[in-house]
Copies of this chain bind each other. A is one copy, B any other.
Amino acid sequence: MRLIFGVDIGGTTIKFGKFTEELKLLEKWSVETDLSDYGAHIVPQVAEVLSAHMKEQKIRKEEVLGIGMGIPGPVTSGGYVEKCVNLHWTGFNPVTELQKFFPGFVIRAENDANVASLGEYFQGAGRDASSMMMVTLGTGVGGGVILDGKILTGAHGIGGEIGHIATDPTQEETCNCGNKGCIDQCASATGIVRKAEKLLKSLDQASVLRELETLTAKEVCDGAREGDELSVRIIEECMYPLGVGLAHFSHAFDPEMYVIGGGVSLAGEVILDAVRKGYEAHLFLTGKGADIRLAELGNDAGVTGACALIAKE
């Protein structure tokens, strides 16, 4: 049996997973990301953690099939990262850098949202699909498209950036990207809080949300799940435009399945119901649409997909 290491590098923590060739998770752990010196220590840190683990567990080099990495920014061919704001990298290649510590190892890197999508595709909600889009609802909205087991990176680095499809004409604020009405502005945790504050102010409707000192997306999702009417309305208004965006994508690419993940998706079915409403209302000849499901791997999607870069190459 040979092993694969999956590494999911984030701006706060670096997650590690040790897997079999069949993508069975054997062990996982994480460390805080060392962001000092413009992120110059991150790759050495990854190398040190993996070397220490191999030494401790008496894993020989020959037993390791490879190391896959997820990077929180656009990654082009060969693992090159033009700019990664969260890690302070500019014009840097984490693959060639990590290779210096592990000569002869197979090492791969891809964008973290794409890598998480790959994880869900092979081991999570998408394991029976041949084509899939994963949408990650967190602080922002990201996504990844997988076709026949391969990540679609896109020709100009905007593949999977479904958060910036503009389908919410009710947005008044301008998005970080410069446009208006982006899915990112409504279906993200930030968007849910913004919508909640707006509706709490403009409506008289009673709600459990009014009793809270600080309002977060989690409380709105909890409220919706427990049937609080205003919370349900907030979630519906936030998720409907996402459903519209998925319908748009289905008309061109027509994936077999959509998988909704990220922190906000933990709210469960209440999210899916609202997404499906927007999706079905905008679909050509309704009834032929894609399956829309919740993600299954949670925080393990990244390390799993990073390993899939090696195992499924």
Contact = CB atoms under 8 A, between A and B. Distances in A.
B282 A158 contact: no
A49 to B, nearest CB: 34
Contacts of A248: 165-167, 245, 248-249
A155 B254 contact: yes
A229 B281 CA distance: 36
A177 B252 contact: no
Interface string A210-228: 0000000000000000000
A286 interface: yes
B254 A164 contact: no
A160 interface: yes
A162 B251 contact: yes
Contacts of A285: 158, 177-178
A252 B178 contact: no
A169 B167 CA distance: 11
B160 A252 contact: yes
Nearest to A182: B284
A79 interface: no
Given A179-B282, A282-B166, A254 B288 contact: no
Q: Which of A160, A281, A283 has the most CB of B within 10 A?
A: A283
A131 interface: yes
Most buried by B among A131, A166, A248, A249: A248
Nearest to A254: B154
Contact of A178 (B129, B160, B286): B286
Interface in A48-76: none
27 contacts: A133-B252, A145-B252, A145-B253, A147-B147, A154-B250, A154-B254, A154-B255, A155-B256, A155-B257, A155-B290, A156-B256, A157-B254, A158-B250, A158-B254, A158-B284, A158-B285, A160-B254, A161-B284, A165-B248, A177-B284, A177-B285, A179-B281, A179-B283, A179-B284, A182-B284, A248-B248, A249-B253
Q: Which 8 A-B pairs have the closest CB atoms?
A: A154-B254, A164-B284, A159-B254, A155-B256, A156-B288, A248-B248, A249-B252, A165-B248
